[in-house]
Chain A
Amino acid sequence: MRRFRYEYGASPVHLLVALTSFAVSAWALAQVLDVLSTPGRFLIWFLGAIVLHDLLFLPLYSLLGRVAAGALTRGDHPSRLRIAALNHLRIPVMLSGLMLLVWYPLVLSKAAAGFENTTGMSTDVYMERWLLLTAVLFVGSALLLAVRARGLREPR
């Protein structure tokens, strides 16, 4: 057993689970590529999703986060107020951005005609609602910061 662990790097159960996982995945992949009339597009979306998230989306929002942090909390010992201001900015950005990420087809009316034809409803309301939600988040956050500001200015 020690020998197996040394050579493989984990327990035999791990190997068994790994091989089963790959077998199931290979079966599912073969099925779906067989069933779909556009199998290439499945592969593009599957692999593209990884690349898009890991190498574009995440680095991009991390960069934006660093720029904002750099601008608001310069120096080695940023004040509590500046750190709070950074959070009062990035939290509404995160929540508003999350809503846009999930609901962008409706908010940006990406398939307005199809949606209206199918459901009998218009997508017109979504942009308005998302903007309203975003405004509420930013204004609410700013007001909260204003209320907290006095306490944050005082030394710890």
Chain B
Amino acid sequence: MDDDVRRPPSPPVPEVGPFRRGFWKSPLRGPWLASFLSSALLPLIVVCTLTGFLSHAAYNPGVGSNALFDEGVDLYFFEWPTGPTWLYALTQGLHIITGLAAIPILLAKLWAVIPQLFERPAVRSVAHALERLGLALLVGGTLFVFATGVLNIQIYYPFGFSFVPAHYFAAFIFLAGLTLHVVSKVGVMRAAFRERGVVRPLRDDLAHTEPEPELEGRHTTAPVAAAPPTMTRRLLLGTVGVGSAALAAMGIGQVVGGPLRRLALLAPRGENFGDGPNDFQVNKTAKAAGIPMEKVGADWRLTLEVGEKRTVLTRDELLGMEQVTADLPIACVEGWSTTQAWTGVRLSELARMAGAEEGAEMQVRSVQPAGVLRQATLTGDQVAAKDSLLALKVNGADLSLDHGFPARIIVPALPGVHNTKWVGKMVWA
């Protein structure tokens, strides 16, 4: 929100290197380029942020011991629904796809505005000082959430802090910085588009690629001593667009799966396994989860617990109950999913058998010896949904050990890791 009414500029500062405006030579830099990149970036970032916070709600922090943080810190406004079945695959797929697609645009945007880091005078007014402080939050927050997100989906953790809280709270800082930035710069964007048109500069060929002029009464990154152009604006933005589309395609391949999974050329979940019934993506292998073999062998029992009352079932007894088959996706927070035909006993049937109250929450516990996600609590609605199963088979065959043998939870629209594998116990409050 630059304005004509302001103090006269402070006395000149000695200007050297990048602090000199003439240092920045590219004729392509300027308010139009920054505005154009911003208008491409903003919708992606809005979708990415919304779906990110939605994912937090999808874990149903309101029930059982699902909450990651103290009460009031977990941001969610509703109980996550049980349909459509692909809901979480969609929201989390969008989170990763829009996030990946935003990266090249973000890098281009940072390139377009880098002279602002060195602008002189360093502070023009109180408002300008606050804007610059806000930019530290925005740039730091953006780079932080993107870097940690990209590393997390590749299961690489060089940062040495817990991913979820860091990514979650940094998103608030990023969002706060972004809001202030949008409020501060919307005037520049309007002026740039009014002056130059939204897409008109894309029509210029190299011979007509002129340096961007400064907007009257504004402080922008328009060059004062531009070098001759070696690239048109459309070539630069086209390259950014191709990079963005390629990353989006890799993200889409991971979510849609099937033949499209091959699109995920460099993404972590691009592998197509064989044709067997258990040949599909594994979030966490039995080995990584540290599943003790003796706990999933012939001695395995399922315990249903309601208060003092216990019901113990063998796998054969479960197989003797009414078997239901449902096509449901496993949709991972890392932005990949895979839909399979699961067969097993309805959770509502097990609840009835255990003598649980209708609509009661249920905690599922795995035989997995350690880890936050060896348990998860399902809402009453999730237990009652007709497709919610304790699956014993997948695609007609017994579950493999990596997919949760002897039995696993599969609930429509539930985040992957809450579909507990190697289930040992189900407890109703």
Binding site for B on A (CB under 8 A): 2, 5-11, 13-15, 17-18, 20-22, 24-25, 27-29, 31-32, 35-39, 41-42, 45-47, 49-50, 53-54, 58, 62, 69, 73, 76, 78, 80, 83, 86-87, 91, 94-95, 98-99, 101-103, 105-107, 110-111, 114-115, 117-121, 125-126, 129-130, 133, 156
Binding site for A on B (CB under 8 A): 1-3, 5-7, 69, 73, 100, 103-104, 107, 110-111, 114, 117, 124-128, 130-131, 133-134, 136-137, 139-141, 143-144, 147-148, 150-151, 154-162, 165-166, 168-170, 172-173, 175-177, 179-180, 183-184, 206-207, 228, 230-231, 235, 239, 242-243, 246-247, 265-269, 271, 281-285, 287-288, 402
Closest CB-CB distance, A94 to chain B, in whole Å? 6
A-B contact pairs, 25 of them (CB 8 A): A5-B6, A6-B5, A9-B128, A10-B3, A10-B184, A14-B184, A31-B73, A31-B165, A31-B169, A32-B166, A38-B160, A38-B161, A42-B170, A45-B148, A47-B140, A53-B110, A80-B206, A83-B230, A98-B104, A98-B107, A98-B247, A105-B156, A119-B269, A120-B282, A126-B266
CA distance A107 to B267 in the complex (A): 10
- For B207, the chain A residues whose CB sits under 8 A away are 156
**17 extra interface residue pairs, beta carbon distance < 8 Å, beyond A13-B183, A28-B170, A133-B265:** A18-B131, A24-B172, A24-B175, A28-B176, A41-B159, A45-B161, A46-B173, A54-B110, A58-B114, A91-B235, A95-B242, A95-B246, A98-B103, A105-B155, A107-B266, A119-B281, A130-B266
Whether the pair B239, A95 counts as a contact (CB closer than 8 A) is yes
Closest CB-CB distance, A102 to chain B, in whole Å? 6
On whether A15 and B127 interact (CB within 8 A), knowing A10-B1, A110-B156, the answer reads: yes
Closest CB-CB distance, B354 to chain A, in whole Å? 33
- For B282, the chain A residues whose CB sits under 8 A away are 119-120
- For B166, the chain A residues whose CB sits under 8 A away are 32, 36, 42, 45
Whether the pair A21, B180 counts as a contact (CB closer than 8 A) is yes
- For A41, the chain B residues whose CB sits under 8 A away are 159-161
Whether the pair A115, B154 counts as a contact (CB closer than 8 A) is yes
- For A54, the chain B residues whose CB sits under 8 A away are 110, 114, 117, 139
Main secondary structure of the interface of B (DSSP, over half): helix
Residue of B nearest to A27 (CB): B172
Whether the pair B239, A91 counts as a contact (CB closer than 8 A) is yes
Whether the pair A49, B165 counts as a contact (CB closer than 8 A) is no
